[in-house]
Amino acid sequence: MSSFFNGLGPIILGAISLGLLWAVMVMGVYLTYRILDVADLSVEGTITLGAAVAARLITEGVNPWAATLAALVAGLLGGGITGILHTVLKIPALLSGILTMLAMWSINLRVMGGSAGRSNIPLLKTESVFDPFRNLGLSKNMSALVLGLLVVLVVGVLIYWFFGTEIGSAIRATGTNQQMARAQGINTGVMITLGLVISNGLVALSGALIAQSQSFTDIQMGVGSIVIGLASLIIGEVIFGTKSFKRSLISITLGAVLYRIIIALVLKAGMNTNDLKLFTAITVAIFLAMPEIRTRVDRFRSRSKGGV
């Protein structure tokens, strides 16, 4: 038991900082899954795209901040492709996302290694956006935590503001009731595309930050990321609540951090890393089933209390 607690501090700190970087991605997933009511799988491709663009540019000597910004822009474009497939070409949303995800695999190999392709880029001796914080004397984890917190704060405030504007309200209306939105003069196709664009931009930004934080980019890094995003989102919502929009944004951020802590703890407790995806899938299934489980438990209780 004592070995479990050995060195737990840094592990938790690492999990919190990684969770904050992932929280940016989870906000992107929230925009599509909750606000637009679309399950967008292109994020599996665009998170890697963000990482790949940033890694390639940084190794080519580009300033890491500029590289991170470029990753964000690449993500916006990726989301635009899904949006056009879905709203202009009328391909179902789920399939549009899958097509983009698949296409991104090839694109990401090219981004990392040109026509020869390359499946990973190490970022060990390169600059990163975390350097200014490391130069202040902060540890690797603390730098990630501080920058992660800053980015989450800025992105969160921007999202909160944007969805209060006329355009943001139009996107929300589109996600709730497309028929109503069109009757109120809202171009629903454009709004859905805009939502996908912003979402995938955030996901790519998150990918770029994660890559620099772990000093490594790999073609595989996006695999299963949508489930991780949903897991964080749902854990956050169930535990911390969704009373208001602001509360939801805070909840999903905490959810992303909590998810990383849970994963760190089960790994520390000795779980095989190969089983991680199975564990995540089961966790998501349980949390998604929560409302149904609750009603069944309630029904069982009221019956056993001597109802009819």
Partner 1 sequence: MLTITNIHKTFNKGTINEKKALNGVDLHLDEGDFVTIIGGNGAGKSTTLNAVAGVFPVDSGKIEIDGVDVTNLPEYKRAAYLGRVFQDPMMGTAANMGIEENLALALRRGERRTLRWGITGPERENYRHLLEQLGLGLEDRLTSKVGLLSGGQRQALTLLMATVKKPKLLLLDEHTAALDPKTAAKVLELTDKIIARDHLTALMVTHNMRHAIEYGNRLIMMHDGKVVVDIRGEEKKHLQVRDLLEKFNIDNDRMLLSE
**Residue closest to 69 by CA, chosen among 196, 204, 216, 195:** 204
Q: Is 76 in the site for partner 1 (CB under 8 A)?
A: no
User: Least distance in Å: CB of 162 to partner 1?
Assistant: 8
CA distance 36 to 42: 14
Site string for partner 1, 137-176 (x = CB under 8 A): -------------------------x-xxxxxxx-xx--x
Count the residues of the shown chain that bind partner 1, applying the rule CB under 8 A. Answer: 22
Site string for partner 1, 56-75 (x = CB under 8 A): --------------------
CA distance 90 to 125: 46
User: Least distance in Å: CB of 243 to partner 1?
Assistant: 12
> Is the Cβ of residue 105 or residue 245 nearer to partner 1 in the bound state?
245
**Residue closest to 21 by CA, chosen among 261, 204, 209:** 209
Structure tokens at 262: 């849970």
User: Using the rule CB under 8 A, which residue among 188, 212, 232, 251 binds partner 1?
Assistant: 188
User: What residue type is 69 in one-letter code?
Assistant: L
Q: Is 187 in the site for partner 1 (CB under 8 A)?
A: yes
User: Using the rule CB under 8 A, which residue among 106, 119, 177, 295 binds partner 1?
Assistant: 177
Q: What is the DSSP string of 215-258?
A: TEEEGGGGTTHHHHHHHHHHHHHHHH--SSHHHHHHHHHHHHHH
Q: Is 106 in the site for partner 1 (CB under 8 A)?
A: no
User: Using the rule CB under 8 A, which residue among 26, 31, 41, 181 binds partner 1?
Assistant: 181
For strands 120-122 and 216-218, give the pairing. antiparallel
> Is the Cβ of residue 177 or residue 272 nearer to partner 1 in the bound state?
177
Q: Is 27 in the site for partner 1 (CB under 8 A)?
A: no
> Is the Cβ of residue 114 or residue 164 nearer to partner 1 in the bound state?
164
User: In 10 A of CB 150, how many CB atoms?
Assistant: 12
User: Least distance in Å: CB of 182 to partner 1?
Assistant: 5
CA distance 157 to 249: 9
> Is the Cβ of residue 197 or residue 219 nearer to partner 1 in the bound state?
197
> Is the Cβ of residue 38 or residue 51 nearer to partner 1 in the bound state?
38
Q: What is the CA radius of gyration of the chain?
A: 20
Q: Is 241 in the site for partner 1 (CB under 8 A)?
A: no
- The widest CA-to-CA distance across the chain, in whole angstroms, is 74
Give backbone dihedrals phi and psi of 103, rounded to 5 degrees, phi first.
-60, -35
Q: Is 291 in the site for partner 1 (CB under 8 A)?
A: no
Q: Is 84 in the site for partner 1 (CB under 8 A)?
A: no
Q: Is 182 in the site for partner 1 (CB under 8 A)?
A: yes
Contacts of 179 (CB under 8 A, 6+ apart): none
Under the rule (CB under 8 A), what is the footprint of partner 1? Answer: 162, 164-170, 172-173, 176-177, 179-188
